[in-house]
Chains A and B, each alone.
Chain A
Amino acid sequence: SQTIHQWPATLVQPVGSPLSLECTVEGTSNPNLYWYRQAAGRGLQLLFYSVGIGQISSEVPQNLSASRPQDRQFILSSKKLLLSDSGFYLCAWTPTRGTDTQYFGPGTRLTVL
């Protein structure tokens, strides 16, 4: 069966510090991968999605970036965090074909102080 992991689970970072969040998927090949941010009262905001290694699409302009160095690994990064980057970051995956259903990871709660 497929499993999706995210780490860390919780992170507190000062403004201006760098960020690296990691997501890995097990039990599947060539998944589509997604990064979302969930802020209170604002719902799920799609940040990035990837259909393959090195293929990243950005949905919103911001100081975040994403990379996919391996088939089942998706990384969210920032060089300098802003207060507004605080939120709950969720990674999700779908099979390449056949379904639109997205499966979510456990999330990373980021607080920028």
Chain B
Amino acid sequence: QKEVEQDPGPLSVPEGAIVSLNCTYSNSAFQYFMWYRQYSRKGPELLMYTYSSGNKEDGRFTAQVDKSSKYISLFIRDSQPSDSATYLCAMSAQAGTALIFGKGTTLSVSS
């Protein structure tokens, strides 16, 4: 079993839809969770950072961590064509150690 699993998609939605992106993980020691957005041929940019369990909201984006289920989610409300990108989840057990990344989910939002 891989440490982090992420459905690669592609996921296609119409503009204005609510998008749910998910990752599962196997290492119960993970406690730092991140979501990155990567546009084609660009470096990943940090979207959301969460420590331990719970929800975090930033504008149209909500990150959710369920440590009991080893499951994290990123919700995008009122999706826009500019949200079309690959979304990578990442996590680690200790601050300062290497991140473990999912393979990314490709999202396409059509106008």
Contact = CB atoms under 8 A, between A and B. Distances in A.
B41 interface: yes
Interface in B94-108: 94-99, 101-104
Contacts, number: 57
A34 B101 CA distance: 14
B99 A105 contact: no
B41, B43, B94, B95: most-surrounded residue (chain A CB, <10 A):
B43
Of listed B44, B88, B97, residue having the most chain A CB within 10 A: B44
Given A34-B98, A41-B103, A44-B88, A100 B43 contact: no
Chain A, interface residues (CB within 8 Å), range: 20 to 34
B75 interface: no
Interface in A66-107: 88, 90, 94, 96-107
Interface string B36-75: 1000011111100100000000000000000000000000
B10 to A, nearest CB: 12
Interface residues of B, number: 24
A80 B24 CA distance: 38
Given A42-B103, A44-B88, A59-B98, A101 B34 contact: yes
Nearest to B36: A104
A101 B49 contact: yes
Interface of B: 8, 32, 34, 36, 41-46, 49, 88, 90, 92, 94-99, 101-104
Interface of A: 6, 32, 34, 41-44, 46, 49, 51, 59, 88, 90, 94, 96-107, 109
